Structure 1
């Protein structure tokens, strides 16, 4: 494993993707930057971050040596790794908002962007993480917060990075050992608003009530509707209102 530190970059995911296209790199290679100018989130959203205050990194994970039949297990494993790392810091009220945002209470503190590399089969993955750590101002983002805002503590970014890497390795080894159900059970146990009355919005903008019951192995959200039927939704098909 190696850690590449950059002062500034457009996107750590893009940098790592270009790197693996040009040379062979070690498993768990990490690219971390103090300032990301064009950070990306799920479905093309933008991830804005104040320079030097947050933890922004991407990790290369080699999957050529073992078989992951359902890529969403990678997302579940990474979500659990970050959540467990934050638990070691005593961050309160942690939960995973489907598919892989990390919340403390109702505030988003971490986003994850996973980009899989397929060469005949799932060959490797790039795990991009943006964790709000020491930033305290989030103008225009009422649902965003940071570790410092929540706990009042100023954190060392390297310490948090090392703990997250440790946890990602642990959960990656669980996948390699084919402990898929254990990972899924842990993920679902930490799902935000699971089994609580919630409001959703579909792709047409129509609001409807339901209860989150879990996820499928393909990553679809399972929602119990008013008619007592469970409907499965893809990421582009539904939003949780909170």
Structure 2
């Protein structure tokens, strides 16, 4: 496994994407940075992290074995790998908040940014960005954030956590390459925050409504049961779960 460690970079995803465009990159190449000046989350949101206290890294993965219509399985296996890693370090009450935030005790502990490289209509590879709060203790203006240290009171070795996650990620992708779609989706849904529970949502028009999360599609849209047992489908940024 090729791991590139940087002291500071604007974004590990941006760096790895540029690396891919310049030369051939081996599967599971990892770019890890002690500090990101412009870390990114979903839809351009910024990821805040204090230098040297957390993990901010990106992984290159060949996903040419998947159809474009199955792209959300990438997010599913990365989310599952993070859950399993956290549980191996005794971080409990962990769940996935759609589409790919990881919660512990209802607080955000990790985020995922997946950028797929598509040629024509063919899915080629993915750059998987992960931000995992490990030894951070102060989250300015982020009341819903937490870290492994805040939860357990322990200080963790960042490399140890990274290597455990990468081993788990390989295991999950191996399962995906063996086409265990049903099992993967079942694990994802069984760990999905607020699934089958009465919840409040806000749509892109700022209309608040009630419903039940029922499922996700293979491309990542969420299915919510609303009044009269109608199932509505929403893409990311079309709906917000209020909690």
Fold equivalence (TM over 0.5):
yes
Q: Which residue of 2 aligns with 1:208?
A: 209
| Residues in 1 aligned to 2:66 and 2:200: alpha-carbon distance in whole angstroms | 37
1:172-203 Cα shifts (integer Å, max 9, x gaps): 11111111111111100000011111110000
1:125-167 Cα shifts (integer Å, max 9, x gaps): 0000000100100121100111101111101100110011011
1:12-31 Cα shifts (integer Å, max 9, x gaps): 00000000111112100000
1:76-131 Cα shifts (integer Å, max 9, x gaps): 11111111111101101000000000000110000000000112311100000000
User: 1:63 offset after TM fit, Å?
Assistant: 2.1
| TM-score relative to the length of structure 1 | 0.97
Give 1:182-197 correspondences, 5 Å limit: 182-197=183-198
SS in 1 for 2:237: helix
1:22-61 Cα shifts (integer Å, max 9, x gaps): 1112100000010000000001100011000000000000
Asked if residue 67 in structure 1 is aligned to residue 66 in structure 2, the reply is yes
Q: Which residue of 1 aligns with 2:49?
A: 49
| Residues in 2 aligned to 1:89 and 1:225: alpha-carbon distance in whole angstroms | 38
| Residues in 1 aligned to 2:45 and 2:151: alpha-carbon distance in whole angstroms | 24
Give 1:22-171 correspondences, 5 Å limit: 22-64=22-64, 66-68=65-67, 69-120=69-120, 121-171=122-172
Q: Which residue of 1 aligns with 2:232?
A: 231
User: 1:219 offset after TM fit, Å?
Assistant: 1.1
1:195-237 Cα shifts (integer Å, max 9, x gaps): 1111100001111111111211121111111221111111121
SS in 2 for 1:214: strand
After superposition, the CA RMSD in angstroms is: 0.9
SS in 2 for 1:235: coil
Instruction: Give structure 2 stretches of 5+ with no counterpart.
Output: none
SS in 2 for 1:25: coil
Q: Which residue of 1 aligns with 2:2?
A: 2
| Residues in 2 aligned to 1:227 and 1:143: alpha-carbon distance in whole angstroms | 33
| Residues in 2 aligned to 1:160 and 1:67: alpha-carbon distance in whole angstroms | 28
| Residues in 2 aligned to 1:15 and 1:40: alpha-carbon distance in whole angstroms | 12
| Residues in 1 aligned to 2:188 and 2:8: alpha-carbon distance in whole angstroms | 33
| Residues in 1 aligned to 2:93 and 2:203: alpha-carbon distance in whole angstroms | 27
Instruction: Give structure 1 stretches of 5+ with no counterpart.
Output: none
| Residues in 2 aligned to 1:126 and 1:29: alpha-carbon distance in whole angstroms | 10
User: 1:73 offset after TM fit, Å?
Assistant: 0.7
Larger mean CA deviation between 213-222 and 87-96 belongs to 213-222
Larger mean CA deviation between 198-207 and 227-236 belongs to 227-236
